[in-house]
Amino acid sequence: MGGVIIKIGGFQKVTLLDFPSKVACIVFTKGCNYKCPYCQNGSLVLNTSDGDLVDLEEIFSYLEKRKKVLDGVCISGGEPLIQKNIKELLIKIKKMGFLIKLDTNGTNPLVLEELINLGLVDYVAMDIKNSFSKYSITVGGGNPFLDNIKKSIEILEKNNVPHEFRTTIVKELHTVNDILEIGKLFCPKTKYYLQNYEESDNVIEKGLHGFSYLELEKLKNNLKEVMPNLIIRGI
Ligand code: SF4
């Protein structure tokens, strides 16, 4: 891409699930400033070497050929907004005529705002990892960048870019009260998704648990009065 370097660790050719109402592909960037123990993309987060990078030119040539079939490109990770040349990547994808969905953990509000102001993102899915008092432990320890999270929420709310907030819920980390606390951080009209954790070979830390179907039903019933826009994926 004309000398632009970006660490791409994976590419999914088609998804009907990730970009609402669109047929899309997914570009996974490498590296993240969090180390969430339940992260499903552990290898992308922990292995940030240049060794097994996916060739960007191959992705562009795939996109060129699929212009009529694909509506958009999801940029996921890892955390895409820590990539130095993320703007250049999005400009190139936009010029090809694709819509862009961005998945982010919300820790880089300045970059987020710049991309939105430049019209480079059409949909944003931002993770809110937990209630603020449990954020650090939920993201693997260290600085949770809470001011940045608040700022990113504000940016998404004040701009007209369609967006959703979402939380992966883990039995050892989340309670009903945590979800209620998270719900106070944004406008109640915003779409808010809970995704149940499932262990896989690629998670950063094994031994954590998701909720049972019955527990999810109970959670939904407990929350539906105060959080009418909450959706639990899969139930
Ligand atoms: S879940 Fe997201 S924010 Fe957390 S380590 Fe994985 S990629 Fe980073």
pLDDT, tens only, 90-136 = 999 999 999 999 999 999 999 999 999 999 999 999 999 999 999 99
Q: Which neighbouring-strand residues pair with 165?
A: 126, 192
CB-based contacts of 193: which residues, under 8 Å, 6+ apart? 164, 165, 166, 167, 230, 231, 232, 233
Q: How many C-beta atoms surround the C-beta of residue 164 within 10 A?
A: 16
Q: How far is Cα 77 from Cα 108, in angstroms, rounded to an integer? A: 14
pLDDT tens per residue, range 103-113: 999 999 999 99
- Check residue 53 and give its pLDDT: 74
Query: Cβ(42) to ligand 1 under 6 A?
Result: no
pLDDT tens per residue, range 164-217: 999 999 999 999 999 999 999 999 889 999 999 999 999 999 999 999 999 999
Q: Higher model confidence: residue 55 or residue 63?
A: 63
If you measure from the C-alpha of residue 19 to the centroid of ligand 1, how many angstroms do you get, rounded to a whole number? 18
CATH architecture for residues 8-232: Alpha-Beta Barrel (3.20)
Query: Cβ(167) to ligand 1 under 6 A?
Result: no
If you measure from the C-alpha of residue 142 to the centroid of ligand 1, how many angstroms do you get, rounded to a whole number? 14
Q: How far is Cα 113 from Cα 129, in angstroms, rounded to an integer? A: 20
Dmax (CA) for the chain in angstroms is 53
Q: Is the dihedral of CA 147, 148, 149, 152 positive or negative?
A: positive
Query: Cβ(35) to ligand 1 under 6 A?
Result: yes
Contact between 201 and 161 (Cβ < 8 Å): no
Model confidence at 4, in pLDDT bands (50, 70, 90)?
low
Would you say how long the chain is, in residues?
Answer: 235
* Residue 146: strand, helix, or coil: helix
pLDDT tens per residue, range 21-52: 999 999 999 999 999 999 999 999 987 776 66
Query: Pocket of ligand 1, candidates 40, 82, 105: which has the most ligand atoms within 8 Å of its Cβ, to mutate?
Result: 105
